[in-house]
Amino acid sequence: MRLQAPKGTRDFYPDDCAWRSYLLDAWRRVSVRNGFEQVDGPIFETLDLYKVKSGEGIVSELFHFTDRGERELAIRPEFTPTLARMVAEKASSLPRPIKWFCTPNLCRAERPQRGRLREFWQWNIDILGLEPPLADAECIFTAIDLLAELGLTPEQVRVRISHRATVKHILSRIGVSDDKMLDAFNLLDRRDKVPPDEFTKGAAALGLDEPTVARFDQTCRRRYDANDLAHLRRSIGMEDDSDTDELGALNEQLKAFGVADWCEYDLGIVRGLAYYTGTVFEVHEVSGAERAMAGGGRYDQLIELFGGPSMPAVGLGMGDVVLTNVLIDKKLIPSQYAPRPDAFVLAASEGAVAQLPGVVASLRRSGLHVRMSYKATRNVGKLLKDASGCKARYAIILSDDTDAAQLKCLDTGEQRDVAITQLAKEMKQ
RNA sequence: GUGACCGUAGCUCAGUUGGUUAGAGCACCUGGUUGUGGUCCAGGGGGUCGGGGGUUCGAAUCCCCUCGGUCACCCCA
């Protein structure tokens, strides 16, 4: 019988784990410095929790099961319902605004493909209890802070921003009635995936004629520079600022945060489900070779939906899979992302073997990352090869002299005698 | 869940129109050059050719099923 990892899952060998830690550390570091506090919840929830937000249709997309007490449960496919539940439960006692982050692993029962697996890690940041546009801008700023932290530039990745209200105004103006607004959003979202005639047919069902649809389609395909909102206003025939107020206010905040260069407006960004209420955005690699690196937006009604008070909210999620693909594409994988040993201790003579454990123990107790040779050979050349092989900063060569050792810097090749009691002190300098 | 392509050592692959004990490089392990590092030399472990069934005297090679991978659709919370 052959046992293999389930479809769409990954094994994390030491190198893979080191890489994952590199990402998780970056996510945490950036979150913390932007004022977010870490939270987490259970890895499985009651199935109903996910139905509240997404309806019955969600069930086929997630891993669910029944426990021995006949309870219907599901492995978390996203963190937002858990977050909404947690916030709703303690809403009255939590200091505002609530700024939380987490880095959960999530599971979705989808067919794996590039950038999409059945188990993945996702960075979530959410700001609740704070009104737009400041919260939206800070959320986007934090995402950009992370991208920059990993070495990405505005020439390589962009935040594409849209606003439900703006798109709704446009749709309304060209003749879409309120009750067909959701259908219009869906059609907009799918415009690149359906055949042209089907698109026209769908538009006709919304009461739109062909020239109007064409003009609208064209408008939504263009991207507008974040520093030139007026251009967008002219293009959509809305010289009157009131219809793009929200976007204009967000634009001012993004400029104030100094990240306008990373942002552009793209009214074609719809973001699936109907629960987004205002700003929506995605982070994309510019060439379009990869799928969206992150997605998010404002969801002002969700906490209420989960039994809490009315509370404004904005958040985003960024998965490890696409992010890693992009960093590989852009050659931004650092040469060293695993913890580097401070020292590698080796015995160059039979007489030195007995000293090994004591020296290693002493250095480790002083807080240093120390490895040693387990080999029987006393061939210093071979042992040094192992030392450099594990990327150690220093090699410590023990000989028959029980008072001193040779401390060799493996980066420079420089070597000198150091008293064994002084080794830790010397290396920390 | 639907469709298309793919599947030989840990990794990258070779394997002649189906023909005898399935190979290379890298990686890994051991030893040597009688104490200074990503060399060099020698040796070694590791594959029931994804798995199962069929055709054939004979299958890594042809056919079917299944599992997994890749890509598109669905979906993207």
By C1' distance from the Cα of A411, the closest nucleotide is: B37
By C1' distance from the Cα of A380, the closest nucleotide is: B35
3-state secondary structure of A326: helix
- Predicted confidence band at A1 (pLDDT cuts at 50, 70, 90)? very low
| CATH architecture of the region A14-41+79-329 | 2-Layer Sandwich (3.30)
Distances (CA, A) of A280 to A18, A142, A163, A268, A269: 33, 15, 6, 10, 7
A135 vs A130: CA distance, rounded Å:
6
By C1' distance from the Cα of A57, the closest nucleotide is: B75
| CATH architecture of the region A343-428 | 3-Layer(aba) Sandwich (3.40)
Note the CA–C1' distance, A379 to B44, in angstroms. Answer: 20
By C1' distance from the Cα of A79, the closest nucleotide is: B77
A36 vs A196: CA distance, rounded Å:
45
Q: Could you tell me which residues come within 8 angstroms of residue A21 by beta carbon, excluding any fewer than 6 positions away?
A: A337
Q: What is the CA radius of gyration of chain A?
A: 28
Query: What pLDDT, in 10s, does the model give residues A152-209?
Result: 999 999 999 998 888 888 888 777 888 877 777 777 777 777 767 777 777 777 777 7
A395, containing H or E segment: strand A394-398
Q: Which of A164, A394, A112, A350 is nearest to A270 (CA)?
A: A164
Instruction: Using the predicted structure, report yes or no on whether residue A122 has a pLDDT greater than 90.
Output: yes
**How many whole angstroms from its chain centre is CA A408?**
40
- Predicted confidence band at A119 (pLDDT cuts at 50, 70, 90)? very high
Note the CA–C1' distance, A14 to B39, in angstroms. Answer: 27
Note the CA–C1' distance, A129 to B18, in angstroms. Answer: 71
Domain residue ranges in chain A: 14-41+79-329, 343-428
Return the nearest residue to B36, CA–C1'.
Answer: A381
Distances (CA, A) of A118 to A6, A56, A58, A121, A383: 9, 20, 15, 10, 43
What angle do the packed helices A14-33 and A134-149 form, to 10 degrees?
A: 140
The confidence score (pLDDT) of residue A349 equals 86
Q: Could you tell me which residues come within 8 angstroms of residue A364 by beta carbon, excluding any fewer than 6 positions away?
A: A370
Chain position carrying tokens 């089907």: A198
| Predicted-complex ipTM score | 0.87
The confidence score (pLDDT) of residue A57 equals 75
Instruction: Using the predicted structure, report yes or no on whether residue A2 has a pLDDT greater than 70.
Output: no
The confidence score (pLDDT) of residue A238 equals 65
**Whether the Cβ atoms of residue A359 and residue A405 lie closer than 8 Å to each other:** yes
Q: Which of A129, A125, A122 is nearest to A140 (CA)?
A: A125
Instruction: Using the predicted structure, report yes or no on whether residue A134 has a pLDDT greater than 60.
Output: yes
Q: Which of A58, A188, A62, A173 is nearest to A118 (CA)?
A: A62
Note the CA–C1' distance, A21 to B32, in angstroms. Answer: 40
Mean pLDDT of all residues belonging to chain A: 88
A49 vs A36: CA distance, rounded Å:
25
In chain B, which nucleotides are within 7 Å of a protein Cβ?
1-3, 28, 30-39, 50-51, 67-77
